[in-house]
Amino acid sequence: MSKYEREIEEILRKLDDGRPPTMSERVRAMNRRPTPIRQRRVNVRADVLLLIGLGIAFLAQTARWIIYGGGYGGGLADTLIGVATLVGFAIFALTLLASWLGGSSSAGVGWRGMPLRGQGRGPFVGLRARWNLFKMRMGYRRKVQ
């Protein structure tokens, strides 16, 4: 039986007794460290936000082209497309600004005291690394087959 199960059973037994807790039990409860409340933090990388912003703006402009290509549109559709374009551009621009001004959150991370190559060089480092890995994998697959 684990420590937690024993503690739960002890608490349930005391509740069944109906007696108030003793002074030592109160002191023990006061001396326990409270468990910290962990807040969930969404960690989205800069390159993903850049792609999301560009995607939203591109889709909004594609929708504008489709709607106005048919000869109809305006009013609410034009407003929604304009707002979507602005939101996409804002996400893109704010991500660029934050990554260039704030730097990399892992700037201090290194190997044997030396900073890793490619850190703090803008938001496209992650995309470039992924592209290079993709090219390397494709080259390896061609050689194997």
DSSP the chain: --HHHHHHHHHHHHHHH-PPPPHHHHHHHHHSPPPPPPPP-----HHHHHHHHHHHHHHHHHHHHHHHHTT---THHHHHHHHHHHHHHHHHHHHHHHHHHH--TTTT-EETTEEPTTTTS-TTHHHHHHHHHHHHHHHHHHHH-
Positions of the chain with pLDDT under 50:
none
User: What's the rounded Cα separation, in Å, for the pair 28 and 2?
Assistant: 19
Domain ranges of the chain: 1-31, 46-103+124-144
Checking phi first, is residue 104 left (phi over 0); if not, alpha (psi -120 to 50) or beta? beta
pTM: 0.42
pLDDT confidence of residue 87: 92
Quickly count: other Cβ atoms within 10 Å of residue 91's Cβ: 19
pLDDT of 71: 59
